[in-house]
Amino acid sequence: MAILCPMTRLFAAGAFLGILTGCYSFSGTTLPPHLRSLHIYPVENRTLEPSLADQITQGLDEGFRRRSNLRRVNQDGDAELYGTLIQYSHTPQSTAGSQVTSFRVDMLMQVVFVDRVKGDTLYIDQSVPGYGSYSPERGETEATARKLAVENLVKVVLDNTVLAW
């Protein structure tokens, strides 16, 4: 077995203590360090469901607050997020005889996430999905599925903007 000189042991102990005392930290994000602020534009709505755009915008705002270190600003952010809700559907999902037992809500959104500091597009997707189901037999309504669909869509956007690249 090799005998380590005192200086090597001291260096190894110092490196170990440095790690333990927080020289390394993980913020839960892979965003470039030069991005410090974010402007989320209100989601544009091209569907006939008037409240959805506001619900998605609020979900994105809350999601970025929880999952990133970006400070929200009302204009001129280091990063900017644009979204357009392009599709909404509410369809029967399953039946029992002639009775519909569950329904599904689907939505699609176009998303662009831009680094204004370097002028790069960090993420672009023409069809980010969101979906949710509900069963009237369990006392659920279309609003139940709509809320799930918004949460699902927001999660996909956050996963692809904050963590994935």
pLDDT value of position 22: 41
pLDDT in tens, 105-127: 999 999 999 999 999 999 999 99
User: Any idea where the domains of the chain sit in the sequence?
Assistant: 31-163
Q: How buried is residue 57: exposed, middle or buried, by Cβ count under 10 Å (0-12/13-18/19+)?
A: buried
Beta carbons within 8 Å of 59's beta carbon, 6+ residues apart: 150, 151, 153, 154
Q: Which of 7, 74, 89 is nearest to 41 (CA)?
A: 74
Specify the range with the lowest mean pLDDT, choosing from 6-10, 95-99, 107-111. Answer: 6-10
Q: How much is the pLDDT for 26?
A: 40
31-163, superfamily in CATH?
Answer: ABC-type transport auxiliary lipoprotein component (3.40.50.10610)
Give residue-wise pLDDT tens across range 12-58. 444 444 444 443 334 455 789 999 999 999 999 999 999 999 999 99
Q: What pLDDT score does 164 carry?
A: 61
**Is this prediction's pTM over 0.85?**
no
Pairing outcome for strands 120-134 and 99-115: antiparallel
Query: How far is Cα 149 from Cα 109, in angstroms, rounded to an integer?
Result: 11
Nearest C-alpha neighbor of 165 from the set 120, 104, 102, 116:
120
Residues above pLDDT 90, as percent of the chain: 78
Residues 117-153 pLDDT 10s: 999 999 999 999 999 999 999 999 999 999 999 999 9
For residues 143 and 140, give the distance between their C-alpha atoms in angstroms, rounded to a whole number.
Answer: 8
pLDDT of residue 163: 78
